[in-house]
């Protein structure tokens, strides 16, 4: 039941023209199809095929649901950016002597994006006889923006306390624009931290792991050639014993740790940049691709030129 409510809410927030029942049918059909396919492949080809089918299933389910959140966040960001201009336009129409319901409808410009539709809905509700406070509450119904909700609450409280609606909208417009400018300045200041995290994970990590892997592989090769010998170099000696590690294990370990670091690093970037952990999911594939690309370039091209064994 909670899942159905969550999906219904985010379908509205995302602006997708898809019915709730249809979305749930798709989400339920994917597990049935891929589990059945995985069991068939398991019988024919073995366990690995089943694991691949389950991995694809999980990936598709994640993409299906995360896309709702991304679309909702994108619409919310557009609405927040357009909100000061929309409030200013409504205020101008009110000062021109237009009645509130008509002022809202005429202020619903296409350039305001998803906010335009909700402003028009609020104006229509006023024309049908609803109070301004109740009509305003319809604006954030399909936009997942805390800023928009707080703005509507402030407007409603101002109307209840007898404030002038035009002056109230002008004041809120100025305050929101100032807060958005401050937010952009803070975002610019944290860019250096984001770049440091990105460079450390995307360049530093694969360079370190590729270099370490080359060194350990060289030591393993030496231990296989001279398992019980002692190397003499001047006054120093080095005794090599057999190293019980396989090169495949070290390679898989390096790749696994880099992927894990990329996941947490992407989440950290999203948290620092946008204040939401989920916003960092889009950076994870980029970091993983960059990690693996640099790792293999260093491993097979740069470091291979120094290989002896």
pLDDT in tens, 14-36: 888 888 889 988 888 888 888 88
pLDDT of the residue at 309: 44
Both tokens of 190, joined, read: 């944290």
Which residue stretches of the chain are H helix? 2-14, 20-45, 47-95, 100-106, 114-127, 132-136, 146-160, 165-189, 191-199, 205-225, 247-274, 284-297
Dmax (CA) for the chain in angstroms is: 98
**N-term to C-term CA, the chain:** 61
116 within 8 A of 110, measured Cβ to Cβ: yes
Angle (CA) 77-81-85 rounded to 5° is 150
Task: Quote the CA–CA distance of 270 and 5 in Å, as a whole number.
Answer: 26
Q: Which has the closest alpha carbon to 176: 139, 144, 150? A: 150
Choose among 174, 136, 176: nearest CA to 153.
Answer: 136
Report the Cα 6 to chain-centroid distance in Å. Answer: 18
The backbone region for 251, taken as left when phi is positive above 0, alpha when psi lies in -120 to 50, beta otherwise, is alpha
- So where are the chain's domains? 1-188, 190-304
Mark the ranges of the chain whose per-residue pLDDT is less than 50. Answer: 233, 308-309
Reported as a single tens digit per residue, the pLDDT across 74-98 is: 898 888 888 888 889 988 888 888 8
Site of tokens 């357009």: 82
Give me the pLDDT at residue 95, please: 86
Q: Give alpha helix (H) positions in 226-246.
A: none
pLDDT at position 302:
64
Residue found by looking up tokens 């909100």 in the block: 83
**Rounded to an integer, what distance in angstroms lies between the CA atom of residue 114 and that of residue 296?**
45
Q: Exposed/middle/buried for 81, CB within 10 Å: 0-12, 13-18, 19+?
A: middle
């Amino acid at each position: 039941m909670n899942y159905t409510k969550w999906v219904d809410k985010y379908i509205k927030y995302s602006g997708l023209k898809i019915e709730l029942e249809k979305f749930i049918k798709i989400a339920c059909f994917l597990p049935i199809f891929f589990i059945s396919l995985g069991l068939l492949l398991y019988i024919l080809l073995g366990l690995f095929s089943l694991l691949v089918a389950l991995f694809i299933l999980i990936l598709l389910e994640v993409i299906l649901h995360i896309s709702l959140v991304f679309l909702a966040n994108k619409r919310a960001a557009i609405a927040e950016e357009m909100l000061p201009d929309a409030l200013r336009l409504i205020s101008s129409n009110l000062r021109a002597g237009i009645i509130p319901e008509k002022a809202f409808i005429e202020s619903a410009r296409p350039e305001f994006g998803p906010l335009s539709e909700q402003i028009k809905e609020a104006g229509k509700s006023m024309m049908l006889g609803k109070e301004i406070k109740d009509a305003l509450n319809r604006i954030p119904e399909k936009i997942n923006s805390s800023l928009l909700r707080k703005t509507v609450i402030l407007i409603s409280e101002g109307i209840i306390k007898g404030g002038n609606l035009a002056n109230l909208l002008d004041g809120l417009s100025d305050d929101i624009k100032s807060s958005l400018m401050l937010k952009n300045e803070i975002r610019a200041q944290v860019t250096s931290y984001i770049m440091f995290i990105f460079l450390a994970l995307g360049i530093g990590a694969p360079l370190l792991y590729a270099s370490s892997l080359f060194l350990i592989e060289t030591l393993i090769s030496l231990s296989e050639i001279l398992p019980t010998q002692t190397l003499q170099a001047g006054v120093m000696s080095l005794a090599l014993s057999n190293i019980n590690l396989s090169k495949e294990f070290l390679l898989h370990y390096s790749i696994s740790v880099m992927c894990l670091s990329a996941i947490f690093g992407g989440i950290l970037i999203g948290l620092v940049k946008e204040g939401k952990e989920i916003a960092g999911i889009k950076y994870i594939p980029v970091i993983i691709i960059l990690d693996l690309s640099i790792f293999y370039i260093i491993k097979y091209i740069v470091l291979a030129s120094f290989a002896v064994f």
